[in-house]
Amino acid sequence: ATILMLNGPNLGLLGLREPAIYGHDTLEDVEAACRDALQGTGHELDAFQTDHEGAMLERVHAARQDADAVVINAGAWTHTSIALLDALSAFEGPVVEVHISQVHRREAFRHHSYVSARADAVIVGCGVQGYEFAVLRVARLLD
C-alpha cells in the first residue's frame, strides 16, 4: 500500500532551521530513513512538502484516491487550520500526526493541535525518528 508523508510550512528547511530544536537531518534524509524502515513491509512511501496551505489541502484531497495512509507534520498549521482538519477528516485511511519537537514543553500556542482531532496516533518529541515510528505504525494499521 502507499503511505503518504506530508510536511507543512518551513519543514523544507529541516536541517538548516533551528537545528537545536529540529536537528541536522534534512527532509531528504528523513524520507530516505522512512523508505529504509519500510523495506520488506510491502508498503511504499510517497512524500510531499509545501509552504502553501491550499496546495496541502489539495494534496490531502488527492490522497483519497492515491494513498492508503497519511503521516503528517503540519508544522504551524497544526495549531491554526480547521480547513486541514476537515480535509484529513475526508480521508478514510489511517492518519498519524508527527511533531519533531516536544511541543508540550514549548510555547502554549503549540499545545493545541487541530490535527489531533483526526489522528489515530500522535508522535511528539522523538526528533526526526518520530517519522520512522509513524510510518511503521501506519504500516501495522494497514496490515
Query: Is 99 an annotated catalytic residue?
Result: yes
Of the CA atoms within 13 Å of residue 62, those in its CB half-sphere come to 14
Verify binding: residue 81, ligand DQA, rule CB under 6 A: no
Each residue 48-77 as x (binds ligand DQA by CB under 6 A) or -, in order, gives -------------------------x-xx-
Residues facing 99 on adjacent strands: 124
Q: Is 7 annotated as a binding residue?
A: no
Pairing of strands 44-49, 69-73: unpaired
Of the CA atoms within 13 Å of residue 26, those in its CB half-sphere come to 4
Q: Which of 43, 99, 114, 131 is catalytic?
A: 99
d(CA 30, CA 14) in angstroms, rounded, equals 9
Q: For cell 485511511, what's the residue?
A: 93
**CB-wise, 68 or 138, nearer to ligand DQA?**
138
Verify binding: residue 100, ligand DQA, rule CB under 6 A: yes
List residues binding ligand DQA (CB under 6 A).
10, 73, 75-76, 78, 99-101, 103, 110
Active site residues: 22, 99
